């Protein structure tokens, strides 16, 4: 008889996962489950509205050295849950469909992992929060931006009280005309699918602020417009006008915004070769009429800590990345990241040619400013994706003093800022976030060390 203590059966069982929505983003989860985390998880089902992409995902399993999981049409999602009995449902469909899949998964007794944004309107948020309470199942929202080492470092500086109590934040996010333009080609270009960039994209940014500050949003005022991705811009560029799509565009050779689906192996296999199944064009003209999302957005947000945020998002910028500054009672942190866009135009990661990629600078109220050596890691989204996947799939994730794992409470607190911004665009007024769904659920936050009633001013700063 072996003297090795036997592990309980539960510890040996791999987590059974299914994925719904096997487009571009799902590959991250599929590859993690089938390679790095294969000892802890297994892929037991694939579901999509497009039969061709299901077959592509099954071929991806073979390339990963894994047995392909059975595929199910979107209409057979509930049957997949009944037959495949997953522990976890991973939702990587277009934004406006997330909540329905998450709720049905939880009602079937599964936990859910959903891509951001968790929801695209207030009714969806309420529905998910109610289902979470009723079923007791877990919902994780994959805010990978939190895991980027340089952003975790900013959290570390704030938690350490480096600049005292944060009273205001200035945050400006730029998308360049490769990455930014892509949102105007795809399903994202219609608010009914994505909630617009205030929801689809800014959910990352509003979550970062909530998490960095350990705060919940109270009110939002916003402005927004679309003046670049328009038929008029096509004419200013010397084109006759906008067209249906790049693949058949009579002016493709003259357009700097052409996306060559046929010339990109990944995009061709995922989208062009599967159009016959659903008629979805991945390369629609970025200047066409009918787009209803903004390309230029500003928001002023107040928080329950008293902090205020001045935010902007621009989708046709000369460079990709962001600047954020925290104004605290003891000084200021200025953090900047320059990003470069991946070849398929879908994602970006730190990297800026000759420019400094990441800079983080602390400027005390009275004293010399200094640069902080940035924390780094490799991989998608500045190494954030890899760290997040470890946190999700590892059988024993390391304790995390920054509390980066996010649930539906953080998902709601982030997305409701964007939803309030959209309402503010429509009404022209200030929107109280609590008016959208009632009292906000409060996420768990790592403790922030300072409080406004005990400002530690250095002696030299007085008088």
Ligand X SMILES: NC(=O)c1ccc[n+]([C@@H]2O[C@H](COP(=O)([O-])OP(=O)(O)OC[C@H]3O[C@@H](n4cnc5c(N)ncnc54)[C@H](O)[C@@H]3O)[C@@H](O)[C@H]2O)c1
Binding residues (CB under 6 A) for ligand X: these are 20-25, 47-50, 53, 74, 92-95, 97, 115-116, 142, 144, 200, 381
Query: What is the Cα 43 distance to its own chain's centre?
Result: 23
The residue among 94 and 164 lying less far from ligand X, judged by its C-beta, is 94
State the residue number with the nearest CB to ligand X: 23
User: Least distance in Å: CB of 92 to ligand X?
Assistant: 5
The residue among 22 and 261 lying less far from ligand X, judged by its C-beta, is 22
> Side by side, which strands form the sheet with 15-20?
71-73, 41-48, 15-20, 88-91, 111-114, 139-141, 406-407
The residue among 166 and 413 lying less far from ligand X, judged by its C-beta, is 413
User: Measuring CA to CA, how many Å separate 278 from each of 164, 179, 227, 275, 365?
Assistant: 54, 24, 31, 6, 58
Rounded Cα distance between 219 and 222, Å, is 10
User: Least distance in Å: CB of 193 to ligand X?
Assistant: 9
| Helix (H) / strand (E) containing 314 | strand 308-317
The residue among 52 and 364 lying less far from ligand X, judged by its C-beta, is 52
The residue among 30 and 450 lying less far from ligand X, judged by its C-beta, is 30
Rounded Cα distance between 408 and 415, Å, is 10
The residue among 49 and 221 lying less far from ligand X, judged by its C-beta, is 49
User: Least distance in Å: CB of 94 to ligand X?
Assistant: 5
Query: Six-digit token pair at 255?
Result: 């357009």
Rounded Cα distance between 195 and 30, Å, is 26
The residue among 19 and 163 lying less far from ligand X, judged by its C-beta, is 19
User: Least distance in Å: CB of 203 to ligand X?
Assistant: 8
Q: Which long-range contacts (CB under 8 A, 24 or more apart) does 298-301 make?
A: 298/222, 298/223, 298/224, 299/198, 299/202, 299/220, 299/221, 299/222, 299/223, 299/417, 299/421, 299/424, 300/220, 300/221, 300/222, 301/206, 301/209, 301/217, 301/218, 301/219, 301/220, 301/417
| Helix (H) / strand (E) containing 152 | helix 149-159
User: Least distance in Å: CB of 254 to ligand X?
Assistant: 28
Q: Is residue 166 within 8 Å of residue 308, measured between CB atoms? A: no
The residue among 162 and 348 lying less far from ligand X, judged by its C-beta, is 348
User: Least distance in Å: CB of 118 to ligand X?
Assistant: 9
User: Least distance in Å: CB of 276 to ligand X?
Assistant: 13
Contacts of 29 (CB under 8 A, 6+ apart): 17, 19, 90, 92, 113, 389
User: Least distance in Å: CB of 99 to ligand X?
Assistant: 11
């Amino acid at each position: 008889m072996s003297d090795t203590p036997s592990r309980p059966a539960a510890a040996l069982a791999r987590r059974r996962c299914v994925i719904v929505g096997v487009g571009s983003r799902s590959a991250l989860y599929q590859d993690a489950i089938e390679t790095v985390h294969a000892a802890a998880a297994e892929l037991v089902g694939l579901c999509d509205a497009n039969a061709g992409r299901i077959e592509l995902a099954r071929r991806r399993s073979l390339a990963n050295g894994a047995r392909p999981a059975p595929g199910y049409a979107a209409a057979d999602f509930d049957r997949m849950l009944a037959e495949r009995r997953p522990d976890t449902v991973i939702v990587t469909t277009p934004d406006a469909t997330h909540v329905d899949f998450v709720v049905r998964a939880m009602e079937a007794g599964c936990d859910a992992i959903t891509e951001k944004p968790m929801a695209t309107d207030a009714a969806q948020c309420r529905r998910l929060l109610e289902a979470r309470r009723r079923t007791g199942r877990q919902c994780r929202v994959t805010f990978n931006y939190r895991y980027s080492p340089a952003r975790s470092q900013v959290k570390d500086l704030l938690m350490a009280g480096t600049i005292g109590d944060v009273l205001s934040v200035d945050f400006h996010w730029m998308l360049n005309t490769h990455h930014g333009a892509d949102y105007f080609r795809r399903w994202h270009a219609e608010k009914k699918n994505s909630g617009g960039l205030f929801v689809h994209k800014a959910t990352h940014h509003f979550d970062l602020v909530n998490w960095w500050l350990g705060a919940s949003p109270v009110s939002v005022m916003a402005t927004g417009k679309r003046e670049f991705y328009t038929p008029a811009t096509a004419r200013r560029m010397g084109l006759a006008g906008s067209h249906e799509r790049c693949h058949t565009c009579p002016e493709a050779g003259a357009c700097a915004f052409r996306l060559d689906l046929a010339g990109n192996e990944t995009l061709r296999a995922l989208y062009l070769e599967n159009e016959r199944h659903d008629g979805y064009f991945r390369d629609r003209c970025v200047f066409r009429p009918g787009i209803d999302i903004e390309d230029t957005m500003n928001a002023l947000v107040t928080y329950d800590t008293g902090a205020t945020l001045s935010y902007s998002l621009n989708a046709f910028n000369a460079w990709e990345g962001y600047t954020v500054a925290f104004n605290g009672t003891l000084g200021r942190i200025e953090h900047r990241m320059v990003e470069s866009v991946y070849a398929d135009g879908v994602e970006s990661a730190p990297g800026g040619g000759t420019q400094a990629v990441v800079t983080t600078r602390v400027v005390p109220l009275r004293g010399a400013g200094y640069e902080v050596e940035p924390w780094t890691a490799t991989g998608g989204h500045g190494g954030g994706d890899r760290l997040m996947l470890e946190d999700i799939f590892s059988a024993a994730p390391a304790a995390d003093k920054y509390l980066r794992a996010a649930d539906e409470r953080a998902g709601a607190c982030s997305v409701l800022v964007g939803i309030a911004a959209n309402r503010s665009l429509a009404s022209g007024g200030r929107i109280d976030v609590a008016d959208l769904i009632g009292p906000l659920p409060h996420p768990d936050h790592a403790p922030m060390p300072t409080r406004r009633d005990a400002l530690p001013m250095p002696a030299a700063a007085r008088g």
